[in-house]
Amino acid sequence: MTKNYKGTIAILTGGGDVPGLNPAIRAATIRANKEGYRVLGLRNGWEGIMKIDRSKPIEKQNYCQILSENNVKKIVRSGGTFLHTSRTKPSKVAKGKVPEELREKYSADSNDLTDEILKNLEYLGVEFLIPIGGDDTLSYGLRLHDEGVRCIGIPKTMDNDVPGTDYCIGFSTCVTRTIEYTHQLRTCAGSHERIMVIEVMGRYAGYTALVPAMAGASDRCVIPEFKFDIERLTELLVKDRKDNESNYSVVLVSEGAMFKGSEMTFANQTPDDYGHKKLGGIGDMVSFEILSRSSKYNKGVPINTINQRMSYMTRSGQPDAIDSIVPMAFGNLAIDLILGGESGRMVCLKDGRYDHVPFELITQYDKKIDISRFYDSDRYRPHYLNCLGMPLYIMTGD
């Protein structure tokens, strides 16, 4: 790139990492460069912009780097995010997380550093911003759009629960990994004739459990959208085990799933900057309860369980084919919108076609599974209905 560029586009990734982020960064960078734009990579998500040092040139910034085809062309071979990430909300920064040089100015227990973000973006010469993330990351992008920053969002989350799009970067790889690892674990469940409980991601939406179950990864699944009866689940799994000639059964448990009469299970009580406590442990509880209750349905003999938490395994490693192709298209579409003078839009997939929607959609409703249409709440498994005209993943249409 020469200094005679048309303008400056900045890209950041926020929230949890997923495979597919690097292909989106690469596609947007290469396309923008070819159109005559300089591209800046903002490191560590919103936290990085908060920590820009306005006394230093771009080349000496710790949280900013100039992107070019040369330094992004190989990043598609790996998962995660080349730009690193954080779970930071600049409009609600705890006192201890305020950059040291700003603590005299911002000393409340909770601080809105949006003015500093705007000044830092102006200092870097950013004219267009592409935040890549889930509804938390993108909701702050909406805030910046309302403040006058020209933003184009790209949806990313393995839970696939960003409103306004049928698909989010990371979801396909998560489903692929879940199916693959579940089938691998069958050898252990079958060898010991046990009931296998597998906890998967999914805080508020159960797509990461229900779609693999639809593909045959498990006999049953429980999801956040419907509180389940552990007695009924145990009964079903014991029957599944009996009906299986290998004498085992499998249930997928979303991390946000809840017993009837209870709330979510948390690994700890410390919330992140968006107010989310770390989930984890529902699989342990389900496994224990099944072991305790199984003898009732097995002639008085308890059935041992295998308890496995997928956790970060489903968001690690290189992206699958869909999470290599869709991010490429999303990255290019984001540049198309910038070239067309658009702002306040989020790229998306709707009914199998690439499109874009207003940023405001991400805060207007929650995207969850339609229980009445796609989930058998008595048998704890997907409905297998007519797929004619449905999206690629059947139940992920928005």
Instruction: Give 355's Cβ-side CA count (13 Å radius).
Output: 13
Burial of 243 (0-12, 13-18, 19+ CB in 10 A): exposed
CB atoms inside a 10 Å sphere around CB 230: 18
DSSP codes, 172-217? HHHHHHHHHHHHHHHHHHHHHT-EEEEEE--SS--HHHHHHHHTTS
Cα–chain-centroid distance for residue 225?
17
Contact partners, residue 396, CB within 8 Å, separation at least 6:
160, 166, 167, 171, 207, 211
Among candidate residues 130, 98, 146, the one with its CA nearest the CA of residue 356: 130
Q: How far apart are CA 83 and CA 216, in angstroms?
A: 36
Which residues are known catalytic residues?
A: 159
Distance CA 36, CA 40 (A): 13
115 conformational bin, left if phi > 0, alpha if psi -120 to 50, beta if neither: alpha
**Amino acid symbol at 349:** L
Q: Are 119 and 90 in contact (CB under 8 A)?
A: no
Q: Is the dihedral of CA 188, 191, 192, 194 positive or negative?
A: positive
